[in-house]
Chains A and B, each alone.
Chain A
């Protein structure tokens, strides 16, 4: 297995700076997700790692070896693309065996490895069938099996399940994760779907316009987004971001709503912005709580049943925020609702730099350490090495 290191890697297409110089270390056995909207540079980054795209600058190392200019076939990596193009005239078995035959493996060895990977993915009974006799999900499994059978040092996956319908995507997502748990293969996975990124990644690289916005665990990018972009992009709906004027420990939010800053944050705000100035208050929908004594008042703009819970959309004088509410209570449009924010889950951003303000010795930092600890425990438990 492999460690992948990017040092100041960048890519220009003529005038377009598709990927600005980026540093990234992907640990041995890690599942790293490159996440961002189309055009953010995630696929270009993956293609540079694979060697399908030449870098404009910087170095790529796999297990310490400089492969920046190595041919794709000399990098010992397997690429899994969105459309697993299977050979229609070959059976599933032949499709899976193909890469091994191309490498001149012995017949016995091929039999053994195809059979292993087929068992793992639960497609053993389908091996004699041709692709057109397979369901969409089974085709994906055969495609995955063909990529996995080679046992490369690393897997590079480019939206492998993006073309599936929602149901099949959920199932395949779990299968990919299950496979990763058993194999511990270093994986770089590209997607624009933040749910997929959260569910799968050990860590996530959030990219926008060719620039890395944050590298972190799912918990870090969710609870402590480093930039406004990350705060908005992660979560469905994303983090609520409301601009207000800060003065004397209070942020004045739209709709004459004075929000008293939690004491722990007040020092940080004073340090960053002096006695007053504009600041963006950020909170996840589940941080909002409808309560008769809350300091904030807003008007119901819309309500949405999401199955197990309701999302309440509230208008603070035209600025709409989203909070989670229990089912079974009727909130007609236009009703005034009083609510509060969980002080542990409130974040602050600088409107100028779009960066998150941080507490020096705070809960956010503790959480990061907790996460690191949990990862270490994970490693111990599943025998994974990072």
Chain B
């Protein structure tokens, strides 16, 4: 395994600049997630690292050594794609053994068998080894695809939305398996996804990409608790963060067209107009809450319930545990958790608030 560094990567396709000065460092053994919407440049970044795409500017380094001149094969990376590309006539065993049979490796059959069986064990596909892949379910196929990457011990795993094609239940199960295997093996992994839940749940660190630029790099906690821009704030978390225009008058902040007004904590330096972000779990229904609202809609999800709370002309989402006894139309009082408010400039960048954590 290796650590991987991108230095100022720029990539143009004819008139489109797909990547603009992208730099980051994936540490040895790290699970690094590239998160962003379609067209952000995630897959291009992955292809540049693999050597399938050549950057126009900047450099890719493995363990501190530039690999820009190396072919994809010489870079020794392993791919897992959204579409599993298995050989349908071969057994699972043969599919797993295939990458090890490369003439470059000269591995004995005995070593190959041992590696294949170990990998199958890790991914819980040992009972499938003698089946042909045509007889596997979607989830089993994706496990085998992962296995074919894992069996090789490459310098880095490059995974491009490998779970996107699976149904929700399988995705959940494989997410856990993948994380467990990655952590116990300490394999360096770059995982590309547009799904914020995958990014939060699996990543050691996340790089958020938008329109070819890195917007923020941090741990899942950094990204969720201290989003650098409104784009990041809205990208992670479901339901979405409440984001409202607010004004400061003296030492009080007022959310426009609502009943919400708060004293600004001493030391917080806010401009006259800004955006206030409140995560739905930080809008708390309480009989002695400071603000008045009315329940406009209730969406029970089982483990928690989304309440749409109308206050003035604004509607805030509130996330409460379990089911609720509240009813549509009912008046409620609520609070917002003041230690977890997010402030952004009108242009969307986070306002650094001085506060002891």
At the interface, yes or no: B166 with Cβ under 8 Å from chain A? no
A235 touches B302 (CB 8 A): yes
- For residue B171, which residue of chain A has the nearest CB? A236
At the interface, yes or no: A177 with Cβ under 8 Å from chain B? yes
11 contacts between A and B (CB under 8 A): A170-B238, A178-B296, A222-B323, A233-B169, A235-B303, A307-B238, A308-B281, A313-B180, A377-B327, A378-B328, A381-B329
| Given A181-B328, A198-B302, A234-B302: A305 touches B224 (CB 8 Å cut-off) | yes
Interface contacts beyond A181-B328, A304-B176, A308-B319: sample of 5 additional A-B pairs, CB < 8 Å, sorted by A: A170-B240, A222-B300, A302-B180, A307-B238, A381-B330
| Residues of chain B lying within 8 A (CB to CB) of residue A308 | 237, 279, 281, 319
A181 touches B297 (CB 8 A): yes
B308 touches A174 (CB 8 A): yes
At the interface, yes or no: B111 with Cβ under 8 Å from chain A? no
A306 touches B301 (CB 8 A): no
Number of A residues with CB within 8 Å of any CB on chain B = 47
A302 touches B302 (CB 8 A): no
Q: CB-defined interface of B281-319 with A at 8 Å, one 1/0 digit per residue?
A: 100000000000000110111110010100000000001
Residues A343-386 near B (CB distance < 8 A): 374, 377-378, 381-382
B220 touches A237 (CB 8 A): no
B303 touches A304 (CB 8 A): no
| Residues of chain B lying within 8 A (CB to CB) of residue A378 | 327-328
- For residue B299, which residue of chain A has the nearest CB? A199
Interchain nearest-CB distance for A60 vs B (Å): 29
A242 to B184, CA, bound (A): 25
At the interface, yes or no: B322 with Cβ under 8 Å from chain A? yes
At the interface, yes or no: B183 with Cβ under 8 Å from chain A? yes
At the interface, yes or no: B78 with Cβ under 8 Å from chain A? no
Interchain nearest-CB distance for A130 vs B (Å): 24
At the interface, yes or no: B347 with Cβ under 8 Å from chain A? no
A286 touches B328 (CB 8 A): no
B299 touches A166 (CB 8 A): no
At the interface, yes or no: B197 with Cβ under 8 Å from chain A? yes
| Given A198-B301, A305-B224: A237 touches B172 (CB 8 Å cut-off) | yes
A237 to B174, CA, bound (A): 12
At the interface, yes or no: B48 with Cβ under 8 Å from chain A? no
Return the contact of A232 from the options B169, B236, B299, B327 (Cβ within 8 A).
Answer: B169
At the interface, yes or no: B333 with Cβ under 8 Å from chain A? no
Q: CB-defined interface of B167-198 with A at 8 Å, one 1/0 digit per residue?
A: 11100100110011001100000000001010
A286 touches B180 (CB 8 A): no
Residues A251-309 near B (CB distance < 8 A): 284-286, 301-302, 304-308
A235 to B301, CA, bound (A): 8
At the interface, yes or no: B200 with Cβ under 8 Å from chain A? yes
Interchain nearest-CB distance for A300 vs B (Å): 10
B200 touches A381 (CB 8 A): no
Return the contact of B168 from the options A167, A236, A301, A320 (Cβ within 8 A).
Answer: A236
At the interface, yes or no: B202 with Cβ under 8 Å from chain A? yes
A307 touches B236 (CB 8 A): yes
A177 to B195, CA, bound (A): 25
| Residues of chain B lying within 8 A (CB to CB) of residue A305 | 200-201, 220-221, 224
Return the contact of B179 from the options A198, A200, A232, A304 (Cβ within 8 A).
Answer: A304
Chain B facing A: main interface SS? mixed
Interchain nearest-CB distance for A370 vs B (Å): 9
| Residues of chain A lying within 8 A (CB to CB) of residue B301 | 195, 198-199
A181 to B308, CA, bound (A): 13
- For residue A200, which residue of chain B has the nearest CB? B299
A18 to B163, CA, bound (A): 29
At the interface, yes or no: B263 with Cβ under 8 Å from chain A? no
A307 touches B237 (CB 8 A): yes
B300 touches A313 (CB 8 A): no
A382 to B298, CA, bound (A): 13
At the interface, yes or no: B339 with Cβ under 8 Å from chain A? no
Interchain nearest-CB distance for B196 vs A (Å): 8
A301 touches B176 (CB 8 A): yes
A37 to B237, CA, bound (A): 26
At the interface, yes or no: A211 with Cβ under 8 Å from chain B? no
| Residues of chain B lying within 8 A (CB to CB) of residue A173 | 299
A219 to B303, CA, bound (A): 10
| Residues of chain B lying within 8 A (CB to CB) of residue A85 | none
At the interface, yes or no: B325 with Cβ under 8 Å from chain A? yes
At the interface, yes or no: B321 with Cβ under 8 Å from chain A? yes
At the interface, yes or no: B239 with Cβ under 8 Å from chain A? yes
A302 to B175, CA, bound (A): 10
A218 to B197, CA, bound (A): 23
B306 touches A199 (CB 8 A): yes
A304 to B299, CA, bound (A): 24
B299 touches A177 (CB 8 A): yes
Q: CB-defined interface of A315-329 with B at 8 Å, one 1/0 digit per residue?
A: 000001000100100
Residues A213-260 near B (CB distance < 8 A): 218-219, 222, 232-238
At the interface, yes or no: A193 with Cβ under 8 Å from chain B? yes
| Residues of chain A lying within 8 A (CB to CB) of residue B179 | 302, 304
A181 to B322, CA, bound (A): 22
Q: CB-defined interface of B132-176 with A at 8 Å, one 1/0 digit per residue?
A: 000000000000000000000000000000000001110010011
| Residues of chain B lying within 8 A (CB to CB) of residue A129 | none
At the interface, yes or no: A70 with Cβ under 8 Å from chain B? no
